[in-house]
């Protein structure tokens, strides 16, 4: 099934590259392809986390990306999330950590915890969120002409289409590479 998903992602990206009138924007191809790789790795880490820890721990940790995106809001001048939302995200995240540490929050500072299944699962989930934020930052940079102001203005919808096509290729190439290199994924 993983092989089918990898091939479909790669095929959809290649079809987009072949059929869409893509703009010539320097570095878009590389950045968008890298974003696709990061997107797949984020998804893969999240799936691995689900095999280590229960969803009651993972679901609250998926809120971390809202906090991790705050620097992007500051850089781009877009409206950030409200202080109340930040507080709610922190409370939700801490609430999600409690089942993982069985109510003993001090376990988080003990190195032995992070070597076990629960610590590994939490690490994978946090890494997944960091990779997701990196993908979103690259997507924002590649699809907004204000971010690429040094280039001739290109219609945003064309940038979005080009980004989608190249990132699907990166996603598919990464997935296909892992399927071929890691026997347990097959």
Sorted by where each begins, the domain ranges of the chain are 27-185
Q: pLDDT tens for residues 101-146?
A: 888 888 888 888 888 888 999 999 999 999 999 998 888 888 875 5
pTM of the model: 0.82
Q: What is the pLDDT of residues 5-61, one digit of tens each?
A: 888 998 999 998 888 776 676 678 889 999 999 999 999 999 999 998 888 888 888
Asked whether 36 and 10 are in contact (CB, 8 A), the reply is no
Give CA–CA dist 184/136, Å, rounded. 29
């Amino acid at each position: 099934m993983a092989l089918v998903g990898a091939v479909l992602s790669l095929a959809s990206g290649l079809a987009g590259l072949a059929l869409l009138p893509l703009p010539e924007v320097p570095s878009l191809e590389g950045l968008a392809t890298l974003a696709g790789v990061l997107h797949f790795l984020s998804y893969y880490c999240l799936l691995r986390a689900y095999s280590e820890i229960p969803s009651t721990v993972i679901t609250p940790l998926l809120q971390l990306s809202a906090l991790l995106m705050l620097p992007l809001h500051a850089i781009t001048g877009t409206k950030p999330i409200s202080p109340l939302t930040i507080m709610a995200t922190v409370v939700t995240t801490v609430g999600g950590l409690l089942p993982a540490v069985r109510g003993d929050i001090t376990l988080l500072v003990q190195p032995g915890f992070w070597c076990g299944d629960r610590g590994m699962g939490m690490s994978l989930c946090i890494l997944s969120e960091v990779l997701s934020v990196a993908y979103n930052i690259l997507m924002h940079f590649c699809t907004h002409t204000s971010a690429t102001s040094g280039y001739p203005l290109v219609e945003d919808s064309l940038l979005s289409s080009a980004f989608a096509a190249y990132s699907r290729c990166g996603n598919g190439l990464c997935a296909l590479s892992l399927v071929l290199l890691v026997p347990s994924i097959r």
